[in-house]
Amino acid sequence: MTDTLDQKLVNAGLALLAADPGLTVYDGFVPPNSPRPYVLVYTSVEWVPAPGDGLDGASTSPVVRWYCHCVGETATAARAVAQRVRTQLLDQRPVIPSAPTMTLGLVRFESGVPPVKDETTGVLVMDTVTVYKLAANT
């Protein structure tokens, strides 16, 4: 049986992104022939020891990362998607109503790379990756 906390954390960031009606958000998969621009999001959740490394050594502090592939037909378009992603995520404190005992921090920018051309599908797209993270305590 799972507590579904990992998925709830992932969904919190995806919901923030989806709140921008002009931003197309894909979770881990882009359907074939999807129009650009869009953001393709990959996620990870790590469970680390509590701050101060409590006496019980329990890993009670999840850290979620959203790896946002901001895709457009040009470098300018990819940067525009990255800006929309930043507007939706940076410094936000998501709410997870079904996890009232979880304390969520603010979403922080972790890293980014400049736009890179990708022609692996036979169509030129520009992709810039930005990574945002959120630390929480249970």
Q: Express as a percent the part of the chain with pLDDT over 70.
A: 91
DSSP letter string, 37-89: PEEEEEEEEEEEPPTT--TT----EEEEEEEEEEEESSHHHHHHHHHHHHHHH
Tell me what pLDDT residue 3 has: 76
Sequence-ordered list of residues with C-beta below 8 angstroms from that of 22, at least 6 positions apart, any chain: 84
How far apart are alpha carbons 134 and 61 in whole angstroms?
A: 10
Q: Express as a percent the part of the chain with pLDDT over 90.
A: 70
Rounded to the nearest integer, the mean pLDDT of the chain is: 90
CATH number of the domain that residue 71 is part of = 3.30.2000.10
The pTM of this model reads 0.90
Tell me what pLDDT residue 13 has: 97
Q: What is the mean pLDDT of residues 92-102?
A: 84
Count of residues making up the chain: 138
Sequence-ordered list of residues with C-beta below 8 angstroms from that of 93, at least 6 positions apart, any chain: 104, 105, 106, 107
Tell me what pLDDT residue 51 has: 60
Distance of CA 23 to the CA centre of its chain: 14
Residue among 58, 74, 88 nearest 124 (CA): 74
Q: What is the mean pLDDT of residues 120-128?
A: 87
Residue among 19, 53, 58 nearest 39 (CA): 19
CA distances (Å), origin 121, targets 28, 79, 103, 128, 138: 16, 20, 42, 16, 42
Residue-range definition of the domain harbouring residue 64: 5-137
Give the tens place of pLDDT for each residue, 29-74. Answer: 999 889 999 999 999 999 887 665 556 666 678 999 999 999 999 9
Q: Is the confidence at residue 94, as pLDDT, over 90? A: yes
What is the number of domains present in the chain?
1
